[in-house]
Amino acid sequence: MTVVDDSIPVITVDGPTASGKGTVAHRVADELGFHYLDSGALYRLTALASARHGIDPDDVSALAVLAETLDVRFRDQRIWLAGEDVTDAIRAEAIGNRASSIAVHKAVRQALRALQRGFKTAPGLVADGRDMGTVIFPEADLKVFLTATPQARAERRYKQLIEKGFSANIDSLMLDLEARDARDRTRAEAPLRPAEGARVLDTSGLNVDQAVAQVLEWFAQVQYPQGA
Ligand code: C5P
Contact in structure between 193 and 135 (CB atoms under 8 Å):
no
The pTM (predicted TM-score) of the whole model is 0.92
The CATH code for residues 10-220 is 3.40.50.300
Look at residue 76 in the predicted model and tell me its pLDDT: 85
Is 130 a pocket residue for ligand 1 (Cβ < 6 Å)? yes
Distant-in-sequence, close-in-space partners of 161: CB < 8 Å, separation ≥ 6: 91, 93, 167, 168, 173
pLDDT in tens, 55-106: 999 999 999 999 999 999 998 889 999 999 999 999 998 999 999 999 999 9
Look at residue 161 in the predicted model and tell me its pLDDT: 86
Residue 5's Cβ-count burial label (10 Å; 0-12, 13-18, 19+) is exposed
Is 116 a pocket residue for ligand 1 (Cβ < 6 Å)? no
CA 157–ligand 1 middle distance (angstroms): 14
Give the CA angle between residues 25, 30, 35 to the nearest 5°: 75
Look at residue 1 in the predicted model and tell me its pLDDT: 45
Is 79 a pocket residue for ligand 1 (Cβ < 6 Å)? no
21 carries a ligand binding annotation: yes
Mean pLDDT by 10 residues, the chain (228 residues): 72 94 96 97 98 96 96 92 96 92 96 96 97 98 96 91 88 90 92 96 95 98 81
The 8-class DSSP code of residue 57 comes to T
Going by alpha carbons, the residue nearest to atom 9 of ligand 1 is: 100
Q: Distance (Å, rounded) from C-alpha 39 to C-alpha 196?
A: 20
Is 12 a pocket residue for ligand 1 (Cβ < 6 Å)? no
CA 98–ligand 1 middle distance (angstroms): 10
In the chain, what is the straight-line distance between the N-terminal and C-terminal CA atoms, in Å?
A: 32
- Beta-bridge mates of residue 125: 10, 35
Is 44 a pocket residue for ligand 1 (Cβ < 6 Å)? yes
Half-sphere exposure of 180 (CA within 13 A, CB side): 26
